[in-house]
Each structure stands twice: as structure tokens, then as C-alpha cells.
């Protein structure tokens, strides 16, 4: 399908404009890539999100200023941080807070830290099993164990599990046990295999426990040369 576009892009019949959450260097035909300009859009910074939130709360024309709401600084920081650079996520949260919070004695709607935390129950994990986020997270998981950093390894394991992926960490734990630990600690592969089998039999959420134990074991184990 992409090949069919080539001659029309080449002679200018078509001006191809597209947006994708996938990495175009993997998903788009190389010939099309060579005829295109690629622009990467990054998540917004925390300070940018705070500007948007203030506008949403106080701006009478572009925001919800007519509702008479005020937002505490700690609530602003919380929403800006936990939205993960996603403006829509932050704006949805502040809208929900304004529309569902009772007015105080002074007649204002106060968006406190408690109100903000109710509007966003948990951070949205940026993770795509077929995209860059998957490979970046798996890579960080592996490097944390190789670098003997159990805290980081558990963090990335939790991110994988939160995204619903237990197959990838199970496979990587077995690889690390045999490849990076190896004969420096020969019993590691047997222990990790038992943890992986336990995880697969238990399923989630309990399966996270043997996976965490295997991760800590490998992160703190001696590494083979």
C-alpha cells in the first residue's frame, strides 16, 4: 500500500501529511521516509502543563473561569507532574474537579491536593507492546539487573506489569540468569525458572511477587565474565 503512493508523492500529485504514535523509521516504507521530513513531538514539560491548568481554571474565555474556581499550588504541581506530559489528561482532570466539587463557604470551588488526587487515580503508563516504549522499558529492566541496581530493576518490572506484560520480563529473567549471571552463580537459573513457573501458574496480581524475587536475586547476584 505504501509503495503505491510513491510515484504520486514523487511527482507532487500527493502531499503526504501524517501523524503516528509509532516510530516511522520502523513502520513507514524507507522510500517514503527518504521523501519526507520527520518531526518528533515531545511530551509537554511540567511548567507548560501548569500554564495550561491555570488557564483552564482562571481564563474566562478559553477556560472555566466563570465557575469561580481556585487551585492550590500543591494541587497544581501534583496534576502537572502526574499527567505525564499529556495536556488532555491534565485538562480532563481539572474539568472533573471543577464540575464535581462543592462550593466552599466563600462561594469558591477549591481544587485542593485531595480533590486533584481524586480526579487522577493513577499515572497513565506510557507503554506500547509493539513500539519504542516497550523496547525502552525492557532495555532499562535488563540494564538495571546487569548494573546490579535492584531498585531500578523493580521499578521497570512494575512498569511492565502495570502495562499487563508478564511474558517479556519472564523471558528476560531467564536470559539474564543464564547469560549475565551464568556460572558466577549456577543456581540462579533454577531459582529463576521456579519463580517464572510460579508466576505463570499464579497469574496476576500474585505473580508479581515471584517475579520481583527473581529480579532482586539477579540484580544482586555476582555477574559472569
Q: Give the E-state strand segments of 27-120 in sequence order.
A: 69-71, 109-111
Residue 19, sorted as left (phi over 0), alpha (psi -120 to 50) or beta, turns out to be beta
Give the pLDDT confidence score for residue 152 in this predicted structure.
92
Could you tell me if 66 and 60 are in contact, meaning their C-beta atoms sit under 8 angstroms apart?
yes
Could you tell me if 50 and 76 are in contact, meaning their C-beta atoms sit under 8 angstroms apart?
yes
Give the pLDDT confidence score for residue 117 in this predicted structure.
82
126 by Cβ neighbours in 10 Å (0-12 / 13-18 / 19+) ranks as middle
**Long-range own/partner contacts, residues 172-176 (CB < 8 A, 24 or more apart):** 172/138, 172/141, 172/142, 173/211, 173/214, 173/215, 173/218, 176/142, 176/145, 176/146, 176/218
Give the pLDDT confidence score for residue 124 in this predicted structure.
46
What's the rounded Cα separation, in Å, for the pair 213 and 170? Answer: 12
Give the pLDDT confidence score for residue 133 in this predicted structure.
67
DSSP helix/strand/coil, 206? coil
What would the pLDDT profile of 142-167 be if each residue is shown by its tens digit?
A: 999 988 999 999 999 998 888 777 88
**Long-range own/partner contacts, residues 118-124 (CB < 8 A, 24 or more apart):** 119/79, 119/93, 119/94, 120/79, 120/82, 120/83, 120/89, 120/93, 123/82, 123/84, 124/84, 124/86, 124/89
Give the pLDDT confidence score for residue 49 in this predicted structure.
92
**Digitized pLDDT (tens) for each residue of the chain, 225 residues in all:** 788 888 888 888 888 888 877 778 777 888 888 888 888 888 888 899 999 999 999 999 889 999 999 999 988 988 888 887 888 888 998 999 999 888 889 889 999 888 888 887 554 445 455 555 667 888 889 999 988 999 999 999 998 888 777 888 899 999 999 999 989 999 999 999 999 999 888 887 888 899 999 999 999 999 987
Give the pLDDT confidence score for residue 59 in this predicted structure.
92
113 by Cβ neighbours in 10 Å (0-12 / 13-18 / 19+) ranks as middle
Q: What is the pTM of this model?
A: 0.49
Give the pLDDT confidence score for residue 134 in this predicted structure.
67
- From the list 165, 108, 121, the residue with the least C-alpha distance to 141 is 165
- From the list 121, 27, 111, the residue with the least C-alpha distance to 73 is 111
Amino acid at each position: 500500500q505504501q509503495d503505491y503512493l510513491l510515484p504520486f508523492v514523487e511527482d507532487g500529485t500527493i502531499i503526504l501529511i501524517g501523524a503516528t504514535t509509532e516510530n516511522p523509521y520502523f513502520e513507514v516504507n524507507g522510500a517514503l521516509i527518504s521523501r519526507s521530513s520527520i518531526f518528533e513531538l515531545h511530551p509537554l514539560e511540567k511548567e507548560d502543563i501548569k500554564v495550561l491548568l491555570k488557564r483552564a481554571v482562571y481564563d474566562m474565555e478559553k477556560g472555566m473561569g466563570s465557575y469561580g474556581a481556585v487551585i492550590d499550588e500543591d494541587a497544581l504541581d501534583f496534576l502537572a507532574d502526574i499527567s505525564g506530559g499529556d495536556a488532555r489528561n491534565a485538562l480532563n482532570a481539572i474539568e472533573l474537579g471543577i464540575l464535581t466539587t462543592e462550593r466552599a463557604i466563600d462561594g469558591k470551588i477549591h481544587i485542593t491536593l485531595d480533590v486533584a488526587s481524586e480526579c487522577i487515580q493513577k499515572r497513565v503508563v506510557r507503554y506500547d507492546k509493539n513500539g519504542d516504549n516497550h523496547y525502552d522499558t525492557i532495555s532499562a529492566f535488563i540494564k538495571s539487573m546487569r548494573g546490579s541496581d535492584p531498585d531500578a530493576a523493580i521499578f521497570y518490572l512494575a512498569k511492565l506489569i502495570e502495562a499487563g506484560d508478564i511474558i517479556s520480563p519472564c523471558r528476560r529473567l531467564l536470559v539474564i540468569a543464564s547469560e549475565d549471571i551464568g556460572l558466577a552463580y549456577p543456581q540462579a537459573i533454577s531459582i529463576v525458572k521456579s519463580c517464572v513457573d510460579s508466576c505463570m501458574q499464579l497469574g496476576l496480581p500474585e505473580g508479581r511477587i515471584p517475579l520481583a524475587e527473581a529480579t532482586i536475586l539477579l540484580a544482586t547476584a555476582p555477574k559472569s565474565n
